[in-house]
């Protein structure tokens, strides 16, 4: 077997002591082990007796080090930690302070996007080529945001693994998510003007249904689904027509629960809401008070706007189910002509409509709960093809 420590060298140390160095190559990188020798003494004149004695001691130590290295190499290796085990440990330990819904999302990402491709791969066998091949495959079948989030999760896990000494390098550092050549890829799919009119007519005809009221609120205010379900009557000010976003609904694999808004900027107020929306909310409040009275339950402002007299809230998937059926019935495709328009696309519709009608990005960002105006501008400034065409016609006339 080839020796790990092939050479040794010595040099004088303080107080007539000698020190030895033993260089060795590991994973393509040179390292050195240094050890203080027992021998003492300083040569005088042309004498080399102390140097020779120190060198003999160093060679003896080198031989001993090689014996230990050979014995270690001969030991049967225990199965190494796998990629799946690493990511699981990272989520459970390193991400212990994140919201429960966020941790659930990480576990879902691991289960759907990482385990089927890399889950059983031992960490020591994972290469940069493996990671790039994996993320290319994910990007070809998923949205770019999903691929980016999956890669970010693996990178964070490997960084955690390096700190735990489970892995020597982060082989995901240089991986890149391939660009999608589809020109419409990543753009928000908002309703067309005709679809918006049809949707509003339909919603107004069935506004007594909580899920339909939720859809109208999303279209008029841009609130997220979880924010709508967590909205309480105490957060609705009819005098100033203001809706305050103070909570959201989170979820794990087993339950839905109340949590804080998505971010600091998500805790916001929507002032001067449209009169017909406030009229719908007022009617909803009257109906809910009547329902509480019939059941012998006290109506309080702690009840959920879209919830029930027993104090429970409307679960977000019920909104999705109702909207999906409506979108299918109305044959909605949006400005990007996709198969359907999702409930979240109503939030996109609110923002796109606002930008196309001259609302400045900074103001819109505060209404949307975005942390930066650039996020709003990058996503929505050119999202409406008709608005872009209208702008060019205006510029043409000016020029």
d(CA 304, CA 235): 10
> At 399, is the pLDDT very low, low, confident or very high (cuts 50, 70, 90)?
low
Q: Residue 277, CB half-sphere, CA atoms under 13 Å: how many? A: 23
> At 61, is the pLDDT very low, low, confident or very high (cuts 50, 70, 90)?
very high
- 83-97, 184-198, 236-250, 342-356: segment of lowest average pLDDT: 184-198
What CA dihedral angle connects 52, 56, 61 and 64, to 10 degrees?
A: 160
- C-beta of residue 180 within 8 angstroms of C-beta of residue 144: yes
Residue of 7, 184, 156 lying closest to 91 (CA atoms):
156
Indicate the pTM of the whole model.
Answer: 0.68
395 or 95, which is more confident? 95
- 56-65, 191-200, 211-220, 388-397: segment of lowest average pLDDT: 388-397
Query: How many CB atoms neighbour CB 5 within 10 A?
Result: 20
d(CA 212, CA 281): 12
d(CA 43, CA 28): 38
Q: What is the pLDDT of residue 372?
A: 75
Instruction: Check pLDDT > 90 for residue 11.
Output: no
Instruction: Check pLDDT > 70 for residue 390.
Output: no
Portion of the chain with pLDDT greater than 70, in percent? 91
Portion of the chain with pLDDT greater than 90, in percent? 56
Q: What is the pLDDT of residue 210?
A: 95
- C-beta of residue 81 within 8 angstroms of C-beta of residue 123: yes
Q: What is the pLDDT of residue 203?
A: 95
Instruction: Check pLDDT > 90 for residue 96.
Output: no
Angle between helices 128-141 and 144-163 (to 10 degrees): 150
> At 60, is the pLDDT very low, low, confident or very high (cuts 50, 70, 90)?
very high
- Residue 197 host element (H or E): helix 193-205
- Residue 270 host element (H or E): strand 268-270
Beta bridge partners of 248: 259
Q: What is the pLDDT of residue 388?
A: 59
First and final C-alpha spacing in the chain: 81
Mean pLDDT, residues 197-225 taken together: 95
E strand map for 13-56:
17-26, 29-40
Q: What is the pLDDT of residue 72?
A: 79
Q: What is the pLDDT of residue 74?
A: 74
Query: Whole-number mean pLDDT of the chain?
Result: 88
Instruction: Check pLDDT > 70 for residue 119.
Output: yes
Decide: residue 382, CB within 10 A, 0-12 exposed, 13-18 middle, 19+ buried.
Answer: middle
Q: What is the pLDDT of residue 121?
A: 93
Question: Could you give the C-alpha distances from 381 to 329, 350, 391, in angstroms and in order?
Answer: 30, 13, 11
Tokens 């042309």, residue located: 46
- C-beta of residue 220 within 8 angstroms of C-beta of residue 273: yes
């Amino acid at each position: 077997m080839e020796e790990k420590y092939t050479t040794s060298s010595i040099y004088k140390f303080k107080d007539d002591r000698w020190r030895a160095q033993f260089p060795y190559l590991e994973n393509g990188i040179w390292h050195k082990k240094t050890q203080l020798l027992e021998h003492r003494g300083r040569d005088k004149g042309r004498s080399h007796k102390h140097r020779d004695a120190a060198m003999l001691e160093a060679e003896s130590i080198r031989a001993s080090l090689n014996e230990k290295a050979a014995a270690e190499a001969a030991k049967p290796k225990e199965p190494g930690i796998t990629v799946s085990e690493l990511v699981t440990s990272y989520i459970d330990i390193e991400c212990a302070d994140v919201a429960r819904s966020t941790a659930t999302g990480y576990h879902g990402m691991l289960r759907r996007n990482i385990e089927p491709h890399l889950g059983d791969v031992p960490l020591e066998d994972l290469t940069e080529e493996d990671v790039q091949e994996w993320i290319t495959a994910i990007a070809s079948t998923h949205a770019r945001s999903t691929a980016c989030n999956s890669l970010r999760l693996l990178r964070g896990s490997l960084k955690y693994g390096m700190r735990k000494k489970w892995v020597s390098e982060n082989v995901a550092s240089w991986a890149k998510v391939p660009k999608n050549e589809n020109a419409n890829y990543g753009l928000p799919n908002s309703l067309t003007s005709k679809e918006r009119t049809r949707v509003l007519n339909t919603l107004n005809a069935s506004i007594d249904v909580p899920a339909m009221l939720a859809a109208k609120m999303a279209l008029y205010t841009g609130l997220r689904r979880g924010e709508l379900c967590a909205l309480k009557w105490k957060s609705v000010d009819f005098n100033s027509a203001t809706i305050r976003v103070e909570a959201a609904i989170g979820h794990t694999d087993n339950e839905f629960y109340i949590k804080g808004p998505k971010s600091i900027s998500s805790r916001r107020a929507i002032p001067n809401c449209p009169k017909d929306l406030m009229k719908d909310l007022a009617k909803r409040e009257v109906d809910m008070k009547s329902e509480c009275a019939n059941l012998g339950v006290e109506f309080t402002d702690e009840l959920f706007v879209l919830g029930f007299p027993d104090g429970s809230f409307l679960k977000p998937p019920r909104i999705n189910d109702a909207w999906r059926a409506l979108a299918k019935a109305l044959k909605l495709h949006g400005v990007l002509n996709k198969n359907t328009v999702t409930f979240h696309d109503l939030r996109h519709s609110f923002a796109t409509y606002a930008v196309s009608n001259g609302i400045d990005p900074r103001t819109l960002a505060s209404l949307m709960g975005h942390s930066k105006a650039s996020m709003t501008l990058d996503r929505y400034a050119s999202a409406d093809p008709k608005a872009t065409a209208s702008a060019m016609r205006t510029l043409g006339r000016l020029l």
